[in-house]
Structures are given as C-alpha cells and as structure tokens.
Structure 1
Amino acid sequence: MELENYDSFPQQIPLIIEDDVFLYPFMIAPLFLSNEENIKAVEDAIEFNKLVIVSVSKPGFEGKREEGSFYDVGVIGNIMRKVSLPDGKIKVLFQGLAKGKIESFNTESPIYVQVDKLQDEEYSKESVDSIVDVLREQVKKLSRINSKFPADLIKTIEENDDATRIADLISSVLRVKKEDAYKLFAETNIEKRLLEVVETIKKEIESFKIQKEITQKVNSKIEKTHKDYFLKEQIKAIQKELGGDNQKETEIKAYKKRLKKIKKHMPIDGYKETKKQIEKLSRMHQDSPDSALLQTYIENVLDIPFGEFSDEKITVKSVEEQLNKDHYSLKIPKERISEYFAVKEMLELRKIESLKSKGTVLCFVGPPGVGKTSLANSISQALKRPLVRVALGGMEDVNELRGHRRTYVGAMPGRIVKGLTDAKKMNPVIVLDEIDKLGANHRGDPTAVMLEVLDPEQNHEFRDLYLNFAIDLSQCIFVATANDARRIPAALRDRMEFIEISSYTPNEKYYIAKDYLIPQELEKHGLKRSEITLSKTTIEAIISKYTREAGVRNLRRVFAKLFRKAVKKLLKNPECKKVSINTKNLKEYLDNPIFEIDPAEKKNQIGVTNGLAWTAVGGDVLKTEAVKLRGKGILNVTGNLGDVMKESSRISYSVVKLLIDAKKLKIKDSIIPKTAKEEEEKIKVDPSEVYKRYDIHLHIPEGATPKDGPSAGITMAVTIASILSEKEVRSDVAMTGELTLTGKVLPIGGLKEKLIAAYKAKMKLALIPRKNYQRDLDEIPDEVKEAMEIKAVDTIEDVFKETLI
C-alpha cells in the first residue's frame, strides 16, 4: 500500500494518540485502543478509506487530547485490520508509511488534524556514509554487551544503504526517554540525526558497562562471604579433629564449672533450668540468633551471688553507734531501729533459725530531707552489708520489679535480682525508696509484687519472670521510705511498721548544721575549718531566714552556696587567709532573706485567727480571715479548700449559731443592722438575728495553694465568732483541732510539725485537743514546750475563753 493511492498532502486525516512509544514508517504494529476519540478516528478512517496519523502524548498529558498535549510529528499509515475486544476496546493492525507533521489541530473537531509529509533535508552522501560506518561499529559493540539487543538488526543495517531507514531502525530499539525519542524522530537533518544516534548508543554502552561492573562486584562479594564461611567451618572442623582450642567449648565448660560450684546453694528448679539452657547452648550453632540470648540468660543466672552472705554479726551496739554518728536527734526512730536489730541479735544468739528471716519491714515516713534514706545507709554501714537502692517513684511497669519473660526482645531480670547481682551478696540492705509513689496502669500493678517481696511468708520463694525459678529473699533486710503513708495501699501498709520522722526544730537544725553539714561541706569544697568563721547567731539566722523545709536538705545547699563564694574570694585575694561570715554581711552571700513563717502579730484583730497546718515540708501557720457583709446569712468560703475543709467551715458556722442562740456567745445590740422601721419604732432586735442579717466571707490565704484536712474546725469557728460578735482574737495564740456539730474538739495528726511551726512564729499559747495532749506531748521537743504554753481544750467554749477578748 503506497501513499500515492490516497489524496495528496497536506490533507485532513484522523488522529490516533498513543501513550508509550513512537512508531516508525517501516513498522506494522498492533495497537490496543480504549479512548473514544481514538476509536472514532479508526472508524472514520475505515469508513471513508482515509489514512491516519499516530502521534505520542507528551509526559504528564497521557490520556488527554488537546492542543499542546501531544507531539507535532507522527507516522502516517493505514488501518489494515480492526478487531473489537470486550469492555469497548478495539485492536487494530497499523501499517506505517511515512513520517508526517501536524500543522494544525481543530478544537471543534479534535478527531481530525491537518497533516503534511515530513521531508528530510538534502545531504552529502560521502559524509553520511562515513557516519553510518561509525554507527554500525557502535551498534556491534552494544550488541556484544547487551544480550537483549536484536541480533537480526545488525544484518539488516549491514545490507541497507538508506541512511534514513538505518537511523529509524536503530532509533526504534534504543532505550530513551520520550523527549529524546522525539528529537531523534523529528530531526530532518540526516547527518545531525545520525550523530545523535551514535552519541545515544555510546551513552548506552557506558551505562551497560557500569551495570556490569556493579553486578560483578556484588557477585564477587557474595562469593567471598560464602568462601569465608566455608573456610571458617573447615578451620573449626580441623581444630576439633586436632583437639585444638575451641572458644565455644571453653565457654560451655566454664559455665558448667560455675554451675557445679553454686549447685548446693541454688534452688533445685533453678539448677535444672540453668543446666538445661547450658545443654541447649552447647547443641546450638554459635551464629544462631538464639545463641546470644541463651548466653546472656546463663551469664545473668551465674552472676547471682548464690551462697554469698555478709558474715558480720548483728549487734545492737554497732547499730546504735553508727546511728548516733550519722544522725543528730531522731530519738524515737533510732530507738525503734535498735529494738528491731536487738530482736535479730537475740535470734542469732539463741540460734532460732526458723524465725531469723521473719520480722516486720520498717518504713520511714516523713517530709523530704529529714533523713529517711540516710538512716537506711547507716543501717547498711552498721551491719557491714552492701546497700541496694530501688527507686519506686513513678514506677508503673510491673516487669521492672519482677523481670521480663525471655520471649520478649530486650528481656532482663527485675530490679530486685539485679540489685542482688550488683551487691554480690544474698543478704544486702534493700531500700525501697518512695514506696508511696507506686502507680498501677495497663502494664500491671507493682504494688502486687511488693506484697510478695515484703511478706516474710512469701519472699523466700520470690519468682522472677526472667529467671523462671524462685529465689530466696528472706535474708535481705528491707527498709522502705515514704512521704505520705496514706497513699500506700492498705494491703501493703499491713506488712510494714511505720516510723515517723517529723520536722526538726530550729535548735536541732543548728546542731545538725554545726556537727554534720558544715564539716561535710567544708571538706567537699576543699576548705579548712580555720578559713571560715561562722558564729552561732549567723547559723541561726540562716536557718530561720533562708530555709523553708522540714528537713535539712535545702540548708545544706545554702552552706554549699556560702562556701562556693568563700572559695572564690580566697582564690581572687591571695592575701586573704580567712573569710568571716556574719549577720551583717550575710546578704552579700545569700541575697535577700526568705522568711519561712511570719511572726505573731503584735496587735489583736477582729476576724483574724492563727491556725496550724501540716504540709509535705513540715508545719505552717495559716491565718484564717473573715469579713461580714449585709445579707441573709450566707457563708462564702474561699482559699482553694478541699471538700473536708469546706464541710468543716459549715460545721463551724452551725456551732457558732447554736452558741449565739443559746446565749453562750454574747452579741451586742449595737452591731446588729436594723431596718428603717425598727430604727423609727425603736424595736429591740434579738441577738440571734446577727447571723441572719450578715453574710460571712471566710478566706484562708494563699489562694493558689490547695488545702484540705480535718484540723481547721476550731480555727474557723473562732474566726466566725469573732467577726459576728466583734470581739478581738488574741494574736499570740495558735490552734488546731476539728469540731463536731455539738462543739466537741476532736484529735488531729501532725502535732509535732504544727507546734514547731507555732514555736517558729513565736506564739505564746497553742491550743490542742485533749487527746493529743495526753497522747502526743512526749514527742514534742523540750525547747518547744519551754518556749510557749500548750493547753488542752475539750469544747469550742474552752477555745473561746482562751482566744476571744
């Protein structure tokens, strides 16, 4: 079929747009078409016996038919055959006849385009033949490298003299991008086109060479790895045959030897489990992933100090000496610790083995910095046993204590077993720090593990999940610490004996600073005692004006700050041999003072009362204030109070109303607001009307600090009674106690801290419930009892007698 059988060019013919490759005039190729416009173009060509032009869509415009979405050159040809396929698709056999250039695109009828034949420019045959020879050589090179290159193509271009046909044939098999294929296809200068084909083939040859080199390198590396592996295996086999050294065999023998040594001290199931794992390791290839896990497990088990104990005898004398050496005051805690170890000493003397491991677990409870953890350190030193500290604060994952099962990645023993390994003894002193801050969540409840650890009936068979066998903890001495015993679960509290360590008095802090803190900090800062002058007055001023705490931790920091500045001064001034710190120059070292508790007011006031409160850092004096406003008897309470204190305020208000009604709290007529009619007719108003005609606003500063607890009842009652009766409250009196609805004063907790706070605020009188007076007064430091009067009260009327003027 020739072009001469059709109308002359240029002419309007249907357009078919392909997405993938350029077709060339010599090709007879099948086309699979699904686009409606392409199918319509085929149908028109067949119906009207027309030629078609096949063009290629530009990158990013696949499937589109609009001006600029396809290349302006293509192949003119005819449709030899059409076959309909399922889903509306068709298959046609297309025969290419000549290259054509699309001169215009009709947007109104996009199926037809104006096409003219694409003619090559004239050329010099000699020059073109030379380029064709070079091209043939390059094609041969490419065919030798690329096995997929068509072998019959070389023969075809050898026999063909038509340069255009040769360029078309080679271009059709090259792997190039659409844009490059278009340039090769559309070029009409044959010399230029042939040179571009040569350049493209050279690039392809270089690309294949690089790929071949990379493939060879990868293959050689893989071969080397296999070769090394087989050589290593041969070396191992040769060493085994010759009886030479084998690292794995040596390790297995060492494990078995260590296991045999501790066999009599291990639990039976522990010995069996470890022996089983060693045997399993000996059968396993050392390059196996499980080999490293098994080896880690065996080493962890063998590192546990089975049979290793501190043989130092427990003596009460050594414990007491160490406690007195490390701690000032703390009479009751020291006495209880001594009693605890006196029992253990007696059991050892009488050789009552069955009860040696039984006993109460001590739990030191108190504010931060009062010496809870350091008491445990002293016990450890007195007994010559290693100390293991397990910080429980914020722990939520039960596996941190009990260990992880070995099926999990990164499994390890729990903290208790790890502590034994680190201590290298089976009977260390284990400090369970901040046991009140354990938390339960979806990962389990660590408290449940603590129940097993601290129960003398269970801890001789504590099961760690990683070890997978029971371990004896009965010889360990467990000491727990907590800030607030109320936050410890009841089941856990039942297994412990609590030793309260409360606030230090200013006098106790002075001696702690003089005998412990200052010498220790001087040594830490490289100073001699002769280089620092600190008088008693200066130390007392630091304690009272620069610290706010129940313990002495912050006090230590203050001395550290002083001595840092002193060191700097000595180094900058070599002629200075001594630094004198006194009350006059104290501000130079510590800036402005921070008053912990405001001293008692000198002037008595109406509606202002001194209440005593317990906080996490010791006691405090809270001033309770009230004002009255004309209203209907509504009580308004502010100060960020909890539910308990809000209830206390309502009870106090009711008690005061009852006393007014019973005329036990006298109200002046002059202070009751009267209506205009009552004023005019001089009507006498009942005193009880006072709480009906005033609203009370009760406030406890500071508003940003949350407050709660059952101990502010009498303070609120005095404040409300004062503001309603307009009687002044003694400014040098502080009080604590809870009220019943009938006016009885109930006992409270934290008495020592509260009275120390009153003492620091220089109160002259402290009112406390009768039961606290009878039960807790012995625990109050002598200096507090000597500095102020402490009175017991039974009812709110007793409180009014001492406070209202």
Structure 2
Amino acid sequence: MQLSDYSAFPAKIPVIVEDDLFLYPFMISPIFLNDELNVQAAARAVETNSLVLVCPTKPGHEGERSFDAIYNAGVIGSIMRKVTLPDGRIKVLFQGLARGRIIEEVSSSPLVAKVDVIHSRPYNELKIEALMEVLREKLRTLSQVSNQFPPDLIRTIEENHEPNRIADLISSTIKIKKPEAYELFIEEDVEQRLLLLIDIISAEIEASKLQKEIRSKVHSRIEQVNKEYFLKEQLKQIQQELGTDTQREEEIEEYYKKLEAKKPYMDEDAYKEVKKQIDRFARMHPDSADANMIQGYLDWVLEIPFGKYAKKHLKVDDVEKQLDKDHYSLKKPKERIVEYFSVRELAELRGVADKEIKGAILCFAGPPGVGKTSLANSISKALKRKLVRIALGGLEDVNELRGHRRTYIGAMPGRIVQGLIDAGEMNPVMVLDEIDKVGRSMRGDPTSVLLEILDPEQNSEFRDYYLNFNIDLSQVIFIATANDIGSIPGPLRDRMEFIFLSSYTPQEKYEIAKRYLIPQELKKHALKKSEFSITKAALEMVIENYTREAGVRNLRRRIADMIRKAAKMILTDPSLGKVAVTAKNIREFLDKPIFEIDETDNIPMVGVVNGLAWTAVGGDVLKIETIKIKGKGGLQLTGSLGDVMKESARIALSVVKTLIDQGKLKIDDRIIPKTAKEREEKIKVEPSEVYKRYDLHIHIPEGATPKDGPSAGITMATAIASIFGEFKVRPDVAMTGELTLTGKVLPIGGLKEKLIAAYKAKMKKVLIPEKNFKRDLDDIPEVVKEALQIIPVTRIEEVLKEALIMK
C-alpha cells in the first residue's frame, strides 16, 4: 500500500494517541484502544476510508487525550483491520506509511488535525554513504557486546541503502528515551539524523561494555559465594562428626534463654517439664527422630504467652457503649452481659483475684443470624482483648481440644492452647462456636473435655496431653454459642448460663438494616451514601417478601444484591449519579418475591384453622385443613407430621368426641347422614353418630416440610369440631397450645416467634395458654401486643367459643 493511494497532503485526518509504543513508517503493528476518543478516531478512519496519524504522548502525560499532551509529529498510516475484543477493547492492525506533522488542530472529540508529510531535505549521496558505513561499523561493534541486534537485522541494514529507512530500523531496535526518539524522528536533515544515531550507538557501546564487565565480575562473585557455601557446608559436616556443631549449641542456648524469661510466670511443674525436654534435646543426636519431635514440642511450648495479659482495666461503661453501638434491640441479652461484667469490674476494683470469681459461662442461644457471634466480637472490642474463635461444629475427636500425645506422628497442642498462642495473651475472649453440634465417636466424647474447660472450679488446671503439664484458663473469658440447647448434654448445659436471642420483629429488622447493614454493605461495595438509597416501603418489602428468617443474615445478602446491581448501573452510566430503590422498581433488583406469610382472607371457612408454629428461622402461620368423608370413624393424617403431632391429632379427636358425647358441642341432627329407614321414619340420630359415620382427613399444607411438636393440639381440635358440627371458623383468629385428654390447654415454647408471625399475617386475635400469658408476655414487642388481641385460655371449651361461629 502506498501513500499515493490516498488524497493529497496536507489533509485533515483522525489522530490516535499511543502511550507506550513509538511507531515508525515501516512498521505493521497491532494497537489496542481502550478509551473513547481513540475508538472514535479509529471508527472515523474506517468509515471514511482515510489514513490516521498515530502520535505518542509526552512523558508524564500518559492517559491524556488532548493536543497539549502529545507530540505534534507521528506516523501516518492506514488501519488494515479492526476487531472488538471480549474485554471491550478495540484492536486495530496499523500499517505505517510515512512520517507526518500536525500543522493545524481541527477537532478535539475525537482528535482530528490537518497533517502534512515530513519530507527529508536533499543530501549528498557520497557523504551519506560514508556516514552509513560508519554507522554499520558501530552496529557490528554493538552486536558483539550486546544481544540487542540479531544477525538478520544487521544483514538487513547492510543490504539497505535508504538512509531514512535504516535510521527508523535502528531507532526502533535500540532503547531510546521518548524525547531523544522524537528528535530523531522529526529531523529532516538526513546527515544530521545519521550523526545523532552514531552518537547514540557510541554511547550504547560504552554502556554495553560496562554492563558486560559488571556481569563478569558478578559471575565471579557468585562463583566465589558458591565456593564459600560448599566449604562452609563441608566444615559444618566435619563439626557435626566431631560433635562441635555451633549452630545447634546456639539453638539450645536460645531455648534455655526463652525458658528462663518465662520461668517467673510458669508453674513449677511446667518449668520442670520444659527444662527436662531441653536437656534431653541437648543430649540427643541431631538426626534422630526423637530430636525432631522434641524440637517441635519446644517450639510450640515456648510460644505460649505465659505472663502476657491484656492490660486494659475492665469498664462496664465501655462494654455497654460497644454493645449499643454494634447492636440494635436485644435489650435483655445486653442487660445480662453488662451484669456479668459488672461483677468482674467490682471484683477488680476491690482487689479480688480472678480465680475467686466463679462467674457463669455465658452461652448465647438462638436461631442463625440473630447476632450471637457478633455479640462476642463487641465484648472483645470493648475489653481490648484478642478474640479467638473455635468452631466446634462436627468436632468428634477429643484430642482436637485436649491435644495429642507426643508419641503420635503429627502431634500438636489442642485448639485451646493454639488459641492462646494465636492471641498472644493468656486472657483473650474465646468463642466456642456451635457448642450444640459437637459430635460423639469412637475417638471419644469432646463434651467431657468441654466440661473441664468451662468449669470455673477445674479450668485453672487444664491439662493438655501434648504439653504434659497444667495450664491456667481461669482468666480466659469463654463465650459459647448454640442454635438448639436441647442438643447439648445435660452436664455441659448445667455449667452454662443461657442468654436467649429470639427472632427480630419486622420493625427491628428495618432499623438494623437502616443503621448497620446498608452502611456496611455500601462500604464493602465502594459506593458512597449519596449514590444509593432505598425507600422505607421497599425495605419493608425486602424484609417481608424476600427473606424468611429469625435473624438478618439473608436480609444482608438481599441488600448486597441490590447494591451490586446499583454499582453496575453507576459504572455503566456515570451520569446516573444516584440509584434509588422503591416499591415500584424493586423487581428490577430482586426479581420476584420468594417468601410470603399469607394474610388472612377474612372469609370464614369450615374445617380450616390458623395455627402458629415455631421453626428454626422464626415463626409461621400454618393452616390446618380438615374434611370429612362418609365412612366408619377412621382418621387419616398427611403433611409430613412427626410422631408427637400425630399423637396430638388423635388426642384432639378423642377430646372432641368427648365434648359431643357430653353435649358440650351441639351437633345438628340434619348434618348427620341417615339411612333410608331413618329418613322415612324420621328417627332422631344420636350426636355420636357424626363421628361414627364419617372418616376424617387432617392435612397441613407444605407437605415437603417436616412438622412436629405438641403445640398444634388445640388447633387440630378446633378444626375437628368445626368439620363435625359444620361450624365456620373465624378467619382472623390464630392459636397455639398443647391439649390434654381431659381438655386442658398446656403451655408451649417459642411464643415470641409465633406472635410475630401472627402479627405479620395481620391476625386480630390470638389464643394462647394462660401460663404463657402470665409469664411470657413481657418478652413480646410492644408493637405486636398493640396489634393483637391476646386471649389466655385454659380449656378447649374456651378455645371453641372464641374460634367458632356457632349457628
């Protein structure tokens, strides 16, 4: 392709700015474009089938795209091919044709300039040939001391007689700074251009000679170092054979020094055990297996931070402030934690030793995501003590806690001692996470070790099998966490005081999201507060329809999902400025709702009753459905019911039968199916025939979800009474309670979660056992108590009176 194939110069052509490459007319080179102005310039050149001028940027102006940031000369050439890469960049294949200079600026977006070709001045061919011969001689010399010039390039230069082409070839091969390369590039006087090149190559020859000399010296030095290394290794082997290995003596001396430094803070037994092992190590041959084992033991033991304690004095005010700062709500758990540390601060002020304060071990119990571990983090921050987390989930090997005996391969201290080493102090805050999930196997029962660790009477002399001496854990603040305290063995449960963290109400979740989750997630996703907002209605929709949990872990995930989409929108469209999530556009961020507690539909139905259930992720409203089919008094149960719930159904059926027999539940004679003779002779049928001539089918929807527990007793009885008597059930009434054969209503657990579920489902009236009404209502949030009419019941007759619409 020739320059003459295009329009005459000077001409107005696009300008592409190149930061890294300094191109020359003979080159065919790929150029990667990743900024808008360069892409536009390339597009214009392709569309108009015109040439482009590729100009380098001035030093210090890399990345800028303006006429002030570039040299006013570059290579005129054509774009042979243009390809869009997967990462968004544009790759063009550029063919240089001639040197060009900008003579007039035309446009700055994209860069377009009036460009003219740089023509060389006339020259004396004999003089130029002489200069080129000198240049070739210099290049041959440079190729002997440097690897920059391959033989093919030298041959090309010797065979070529075009001075400008030779100058461009050499300039592109040797390393020249941009200003020098530019001066060479724009030089119109060929003679001057060759003289400049000869000077640059002469300097390069001197530099290469110096580098070669330095490399030679360095190589000699390396050989000398290697020689010394091998001699030293030989000397070391000779010393070992003679028993005079100074390095090993230094190691042993270092062990003795460390031991003596820790002696004032160690028990006598511990000091004797460690000293005995150092003495054994000193007597052993260094290559024996026992020597390696003892050295590993000494490295572990001398890392234990004997005598190192967090120095900060305990202040209850600091604990209270940190808890309030990090957690919203949780009033009772916070109060109990503050009381716990008040005792410790009082003991510290009155000079009572820590060993004499036999405080209980706190265990935070509750569903996932309610803040158990983060409460421990807050305590650690307030006390300025290191936090050590020991995950006990699935732990089966007792040696994981107690330590392995040193006779085993790969033996090491237990997790408790390793936690002290990691913390670097003897009084950290140690979180025993998921203590309810500790396993039991042929390798022992870890709960038996936890008994010793958590017992204030024993943990001042906790024995680790690997250490083989007692270690004092009395100043460690142990905090356990559990989801289900029923899974914790009785003796271990007896050593802990449980602080229960129950479900958050929707209002509490809203405040937590607003105060903590959204600011934290904005920070994690590099967004400013001014760039993202979510309305109250939208946040409430996220809480109610997109998460179903007692805590806020999934709520945090949904907020992160929205913020990620917002970050992408802002990155894609910088002019956007701010992303606002509202109730109208929330589907753009979170798709369709996942969970929904069905609200009451206000239509009374026969045999359908609202029951309240507790689940691991909070409360729920379960509709218990009952139908009757002509039969002989059979009972069919479906819905993945557990044994306890099946028994509750049978008890409920017996109780309702008793009520019918005693006349306390009136059954209309007209609803009982009669034989032809009874209809013809108008024989009155006994009420008991209603349960003799019908089969019952009780079903609890969501059959894939297992359900168990006794608290659906009164709900099932109400459903059975409704279907037998064809009484409609009030749709805005929900209930929970265990039922006995005599019709008594017994108390249940999980009342807070159940009432919150009733509140979410917009129930108006809730029936609960009287004992729960007396003892548990203080724990119920005020917003729930104000919205619901909570009625205490003691017998099934009271339940039926409130729930059924009698004819």
- Fold in common (TM above 0.5): yes
Equivalent pair of 1:547/1:554 in contact (CA under 8 Å): yes
**Counterpart-to-counterpart distance in 1, 2:451 and 2:242:** 57
Letter in 2 for 1:391: A
Helix, strand or coil: the match of 1:575?
A: helix
Structure 2: tracts of 5 or more residues without a match: 1-230
Match in the other structure for 1:529: 529
Confirm or deny: 8 A CA contact 2:627 2:723 kept in the other structure. Answer: yes
8 Å Cα contact 2:354-2:474 kept in structure 1: no
2:643 counterpart residue number = 643
Superposition pairs of residues 611-690 of structure 1, within 5 angstroms: 611-690=611-690
Amino acid at match of 1:358: K
Question: Between Structure 1 and Structure 2, how many residues are aligned?
Answer: 575
Separation (CA, whole Å) in 2 of partners of 1:601 and 1:450 = 51
Task: Provide the residue aligned with 1:489 in structure 2.
Answer: 489
How much has 1:787 moved relative to structure 2? 1.3
Counterpart in 1 of 2:390?
390
Superposition pairs for residues 402-481 of structure 1, below 5 Å?
A: 402-481=402-481
Cα drift, residue 354 of structure 1 = 6.0
Secondary structure (helix, strand or coil) at the match of 2:575 reads: coil
2:347–2:357 contact (8 Å) kept in structure 1: no
- Determine the structure 2 residue equivalent to 1:584: 584
Alpha-carbon distance between aligned partners in 1 of 2:400 and 2:778, rounded to the nearest angstrom: 43
User: What do residues 429-458 of structure 1 show as CA deviations (whole Å, max 9, x unaligned)?
Assistant: 110100000111101000101101010111
* Counterpart-to-counterpart distance in 1, 2:759 and 2:665: 30
1:533: Cα distance to partner? Answer: 2.0
Counterpart Cα distance in 2 of 1:352 and 1:329 = 33
Question: Aligned partners of 1:588, 1:550: CA distance in 2, in Å?
Answer: 26
Cα contact 1:347–1:355 (8 A) shared by 2? no
Q: Larger Rg: 1 or 2? A: 1
Deviation sequence 1:515-558 (CA, Å, 0-9, x none): 00000000000111111121111111111111111100000000
Distance 1:231 1:325, change over 3 A: closer
Residue identity in the other structure for 1:497:
E
- Where 1:362 maps in the other structure, the secondary structure is strand
Which residue of structure 2 lines up, in the alignment, with residue 121 of structure 1? none
1:234 alignment partner AA: I
1:280 aligns to 2:284 (yes or no): no
Give the Å deviation of 1:601: 2.2
Gaps of 5+ in 1: 1-226
CA offset at residue 585 of structure 1?
Answer: 0.8
What residue in structure 1 maps to residue 401 of structure 2?
401
Q: Deviations over 1:156-215 (max 9, x none)?
A: xxxxxxxxxxxxxxxxxxxxxxxxxxxxxxxxxxxxxxxxxxxxxxxxxxxxxxxxxxxx
What is the match of residue 779 of structure 1?
779
> CA–CA distance in 2 between the matches of 1:271 and 1:388?
26
**What displacement does 1:699 show?**
1.1
Shift of 1:687: 1.3
How far residue 330 of structure 1 moved from its aligned partner, in angstroms, is: 0.3
Label 1:505 to 1:284 Cα distance change in 2 as closer, same or farther (>3 A). same
- Give the Cα separation in 1 of the matches to 2:397 and 2:301: 22
Structural mapping, 1:584-603, within 5 Å: 584-603=584-603
Number of the residue aligned with 1:552: 552
Task: Describe the shift of the 1:591–1:448 C-alpha distance in structure 2 as closer, same or farther (beyond 3 A).
Answer: same
Partner amino acid, structure 2, of 1:420: L
- Relative distance call for 1:228 and 1:525 in structure 2 (3 A) is closer
Cα distance in 2, alignment partners of residues 616 and 697 from structure 1: 28
Q: Shift in Å at residue 794 of structure 1?
A: 1.0
- Change in Cα spacing, 1:410 to 1:354, as seen in structure 2 (3 Å) is closer
Give 1:638 deviation, angstroms.
1.6
1:740 Cα deviation (Å)?
Answer: 1.1
Deviation at 1:748, TM superposition (A): 0.5
For 1:304, the aligned partner's letter is I
Mapped pair 1:234 → 2:222: no
2:315, 2:474 → 1: CA distance? 19
Q: Answer yes or no: is 1:329 the counterpart of 2:329.
A: yes
Alpha carbons 1:607, 1:723 under 8 Å: kept? yes
Measure, in 2, the Cα distance between the counterparts of 1:564 and 1:350: 53
Matches of 2:709 and 2:451 in 1, distance apart?
A: 29
Aligned to 1:144: none
Distance 1:246 1:570 in 2: 65
Once the 2 structures are TM-superposed, how far is the Cα of residue 237 of structure 1 from its aligned partner? 6.5
Q: In the alignment, what sits opposite 1:788?
A: 788
The structural deviation recorded for 1:721 is 0.4
CA offset digits 1:319-346 (Å, max 9, x no partner): 1100000000000100110111111111
Higher mean C-alpha displacement, 743-752 vs 697-706: 697-706
Contact 2:427 2:475 in 1 (8 A): yes
List per-residue Cα deviations over 1:286-324 (Å, max 9, x = no partner): 122222211110010000101111121112111110000
Q: Percent identity?
A: 67
State the match for 2:290 in structure 1.
Answer: 290
Question: How far, CA to CA, are the matches of 1:266 and 1:685 in structure 2?
Answer: 89
Q: Within 1, Cα distance between the matches of 2:348 and 2:734? A: 51
Q: Is the 8 A contact 2:355 2:474 kept in 1?
A: no
CA contact (8 A) 1:357 1:474 kept: no
Quote the RMSD (CA, aligned, Å): 1.5
Q: Say which SS state the counterpart of residue 261 (structure 1) adopts.
A: helix
CA distance in 2, matches of 1:506, 1:323: 21
- Decide which moves more: 574-583 or 297-306: 574-583
SS at match of 1:679: helix
Residues 597, 760 of structure 1: 8 Å contact kept: yes
d(CA) in 1 for partners of 2:609, 2:553 = 31
Q: Is the Cα contact below 8 Å between 1:606 and 1:729 reproduced in 2?
A: yes
Q: Trace 1:152-231 onto structure 2 (pairs within 5 A).
A: none
Where 2:776 maps in the other structure, the secondary structure is: helix
Aligned to 2:217: none
Partner of 1:701: 701
Query: C-alpha deviations, 1:234-285, integer Å up to 9, x for none?
Result: 2446794xxxx81111111111011011112112211111101101111112
TM-score between both structures, scaled by the size of structure 2 = 0.70
| Residue identity matched to 1:386 | K
> Take 2:586 and 2:377, find their aligned partners in 1: how far apart are those partners?
34
The amino acid that maps onto 2:742 is T
Secondary structure of 1:785's counterpart equals helix
- Aligned-partner Cα distance in 1 for 2:784–2:485: 26
Distance 2:678 2:710 in 1: 42
